[in-house]
Amino acid sequence: MKVLVTGSDGFIGKNLCSSLSESGSWNIFRFTKVDDLSSLERQLLKVDAVIHLAGVNRSKNEENFIKGNSDLTKKICDILLKSERKIQITFSSSVKSGDNTIYGRTKSSAEQHLIKLSRTNGNPISIYRLPNVFGKWCKANYNSVVATFCHNKANNLPIKIDDPDKVLNLVHVDSVVGAFINSISHIKEGVEFPVVTPCYNISLGKLST
């Protein structure tokens, strides 16, 4: 089986590709931010499934969110619609999808492109609205508050918390990877919004200790 992983060089992507390689059941195709869109099209015409992780969650330029989240997803959908390929797509969305931020709006837009593709072309779609993800290879001060707190503790740096009672929902990257692999191994029809378990709830104050 052939699977395309977009954003394969990111935090979740590295963990996912490592697990896929260890299983020995998947031939992995990779797409990263340094690759051009022509390579994306070539790979989409070869693979049996897509795990779409690529996206932008931090940028000072709003256009980067549009291009990296909504436009890239639309490009994938357009290629599959044109080629009439009904392959499975697993999408890494966010619990912030639909909120009134450029990140939330562009994640929601990406979801809508995928839902439209499923209705028009029949592609099975799994959309995971992920909470905070932690685990190996995450970056401090970038994509994980857990990594940030651990980094600061290890280096005797202060931890700044505005609201210690704020509760975080956390899932481990291994659970995310397992759910994603399961989604492309057991394909269902239509659009589904599965959740990753277990999910851990903890306050920022308690986490910082």
Question: Among all residues, which ones are annotated catalytic?
Answer: 103
Which residues, listed in sequence order, are joined to residue 133 by a DSSP beta bridge? 171
